[in-house]
Amino acid sequence: MKNTRASARRVALSIGVLGVAAATLVGCDSAPTAPGRTVPVVAPVVAPAVPAPLVGISLTASPSRVTAGEQLTVVWVAPAGRGCNGGGDWLALYKVGDPDDTGAANGHSDLWFEHLCGGTSGTFRLPAPAQAGDYEFRYMAETGSAARSNPVTVDASGQATSVVPTLLVDGESASVHQIGETFWFSGRGYTAGGTLTRHITPAVNGSTVLTPTLSADASGNMYWTFTPQCGNPKGAYVIYAVDDATGQTTSNVTQTITGSATCP
């Protein structure tokens, strides 16, 4: 009987000690453990940044009827906080009735597109498509079109005209960015599948020609991006492009690079 009572006291003491140890582990990153056991430390989960909801978008196209090659204008408003990852959301021109994914080589639209890079409003101008029909602008995000403009009817041109290639930076003739921010260049009216040569003034690294030579897509559109880094020269640079097949030259655009907090 004496041995039985002693054994019971030892079991109760062991349970009490283990209970204290187990309670010590709750809510701690690191705690004493029994010999031979390891308590894993779980790192906190950081949720990725979520862009602002797609609300309050408006797209207005004008005029409602144009002749092929004449100027189209789209005025747009977008929500703040959408971000610039990969260029961010974008606007694109489509034929009315076409799906969002037309199989365009650039992944957006063979007719025209511009990335918004987190912008909240602006105006883009572009020549109307050469093919007659009804067109619309669409606000595009990862999941497809989030809003559409009023339709625009394009009439066939009465005579063949020479299309002059265009060049824009961030959708305009001039843009300013700090080091570390991205300039988006785009153009249309080039020889389909042909090459173009880009020129810059003042010279960079002793040359007024930018490399490499770029190619237009199957619809004669092209684009490129440039993100200046620490060590890149700052200041204003005038850029234009030449269609190598026709020799036609675009108008100038101005790219102005300023210092940043990390690269003054």
Q: Please, what are the domains in the chain? A: 48-161 (2.60.40.1930), 164-264 (2.60.40.1930)
Q: Which two tokens stand for residue 72?
A: 């189209």
Average pLDDT, the chain: 83
Q: Which residue has tokens 């655009």? A: 253
Q: Is the pLDDT of residue 23 over 60?
A: no
Q: Which of 61, 57, 60, 59 is nearest to 80 (CA)?
A: 57
Residue 179, C-beta contacts closer than 8 angstroms, at least 6 positions apart: 228, 229, 230, 232, 234, 257, 258, 259, 260, 262, 263
Q: Report yes or no on whether pTM surpasses 0.85.
A: no
Contacts by 50-58, CB closer than 8 A, 24 or more apart: 51/81, 51/82, 51/83, 52/79, 52/80, 52/81, 52/82, 53/79, 54/79, 54/139, 54/141, 54/146, 54/147, 55/79, 57/139, 57/146, 57/147, 58/147
| Chain segment 128-168, per-residue pLDDT in tens | 999 999 999 999 998 789 999 999 999 987 654 557 899 99
| Chain segment 57-112, per-residue pLDDT in tens | 999 999 999 999 899 999 999 999 998 988 899 999 999 999 998 888 777 888 99
